[in-house]
Amino acid sequence: MKFICLSPVFINRRNRFLGSFCLTAAVFAVAGGFLFSRPAQEAQEPVLAKLLSKLSAYAARLEGSVLDFVCREEISETINYALDQVRSRPDIISNWAVGGAFGMSWVGRPAAKEKDAYVYDYQCVRDKNRAVRETRTLLKENGKPANEPGTGLKTQNFVFGTPLLGPVGIFAQRFQSAYTYRIIGHDKVGKTPAVVIEAEPLYDMPGTTNLYGKAWVGPDDGEILKIEWSDARIGNRAVFEERAGRYKLKPRITLRSEFSAEKNGIRFPSKLWIEEAYVTERGRAYVRSETTVAYTDFKFFTVEVDVR
């Protein structure tokens, strides 16, 4: 067992600060598996500062954007009700935690799973007053053709809006003083190289709903390629906490957005992935639900930027 002292690059806008800490680890991996030594981390500081400046400028453009576009929205939702079936049988949960297989027949029959798929014609409009309007027309439900204009999301577990404006809450200039940023590694999104930047709140802000997490950013242009959101401020978190209490497990909600579509310097969501899992004390995770959303066939009517 080795003691490895690291100095990851911490930057906040109130007081630029380099912090250090020691981790006890035999192997330390971050993002793409890179281990930053102390000199390497110090060398990364100007890189991080430059990227944060670019991300702040991008957030300003995004916040000042006027948008009108349509695309195809394909949603797949899977819910596994196994834990709901056995929540009154702690002995069964314990046995599963030791080594049981997902989907096994704990109550004499396979665990109930529900799978649904929806295809929507999705339109998003953001006007000059920065008001966002989303409309959907259901085109297909579980493989069957449909034509339901003005319908809402039919997903049961998560109701979500476009993650398009999510980067504003993390990287806008006025919010940067509330976070500590650090480079935690390098990775690729598809074939595109990326720097992974982690944002963590400096302090708790009651009533704040801005999500935060890790962003995969282009090393040269600062474009946001992917964000993995922390679940600390997820909406309806009380629902998952209540379920976790009944299951006697810990909740773990994973949210990930990818941004591959681009128009006039604005990146649009191409994929959203949400996983609802509950974790045992031994670290085994039971996935209760998974929702994937793919956005394709974009048609842009208006993509304008007015930075105020």
Average pLDDT over residues 169-175: 91
At 7 the pLDDT is 29
At 98 the pLDDT is 34
Extract the tokens encoding 22: 């020691």
At 159 the pLDDT is 75
Higher pLDDT, 86 or 153: 153
At 43 the pLDDT is 57
Confidence of residue 28 (pLDDT cuts 50, 70, 90): very low
176 close to 52: Cβ distance less than 8 angstroms:
yes
259 pLDDT above the threshold of 90: yes
Confidence of residue 3 (pLDDT cuts 50, 70, 90): very low
Average pLDDT over residues 20-43: 39
33 pLDDT above the threshold of 70: no
At 142 the pLDDT is 96
Output the pTM of the full model: 0.76
CB-hemisphere CA count at 13 Å for 179? 23
210 pLDDT above the threshold of 60: yes
Nearest to 270 by CA among 74, 120, 5, 133: 74
303 close to 263: Cβ distance less than 8 angstroms:
yes
Extract the tokens encoding 5: 């002292």
**Exposure letters 235-247 (e unless 16+ CB within 10 A, then b):** eeeeebeebbeeb
- Point out the least confidently predicted range of 1-5, 117-121, 153-157: 1-5
At 111 the pLDDT is 56
Q: Rounded distance, CA 96 to CA 90, Å?
A: 10
At 18 the pLDDT is 29
Average pLDDT over residues 261-267: 92
- Point out the least confidently predicted range of 3-12, 191-200, 219-228: 3-12
DSSP 37-99: -HHHHHHHHHHHHHHHHHHHHHHHHHHTEEEEEEEEEEEEEEEE-HHHHHTT-HHHHHHHHHH
Average pLDDT over residues 187-209: 85
Average pLDDT over residues 236-258: 91
At 24 the pLDDT is 26
At 145 the pLDDT is 96
